Amino acid sequence: MPANHPNWMLWFEEDPKTPPQASVQAAAAYYRAKYGRVPNHVLAPLDWPENTPAEGLVIERKRFVLPRHLHVVFDPALVVEDQGANPNPSPQGD
């Protein structure tokens, strides 16, 4: 799946003692800085806890993701249109 998206990023967590939630937050922050948009989908290795909390992100555990790696992406298919929301919000929050 990530190969179909031009703005996907591979994240490697160097410190094996870093909690999964902290890894996701760091990867998402770096993604925002690099691509100027908020990611909404993370592919994680199978050894991750089942319910890793990550606000606004869909986390899927996949067999092909190596330990301590994350695939981070903005997936337009996961965007849900809100009827009363601004149709063209700025990714920077301006």
Q: Where are the domains of the chain?
A: 2-76
Task: Please report the sign of the dihedral spanned by the C-alpha atoms of residue 48, residue 80, residue 32, residue 8.
Answer: positive
pLDDT of residue 69: 96
Per-residue pLDDT of the chain (94 residues; tens, 9 = 90+): 455 556 789 999 999 999 999 999 999 999 999 989 999 999 999 998 888 777 888 999 999 999 999 999 998 888 776 545 555 555 554 4
pLDDT of residue 1: 46
pLDDT of residue 51: 80
pLDDT of residue 13: 95
Strands 41-45 and 69-73, by their bridges, are antiparallel
pTM of the predicted protein model = 0.74
Task: Please report the sign of the dihedral spanned by the C-alpha atoms of residue 29, residue 35, residue 39, residue 44.
Answer: negative
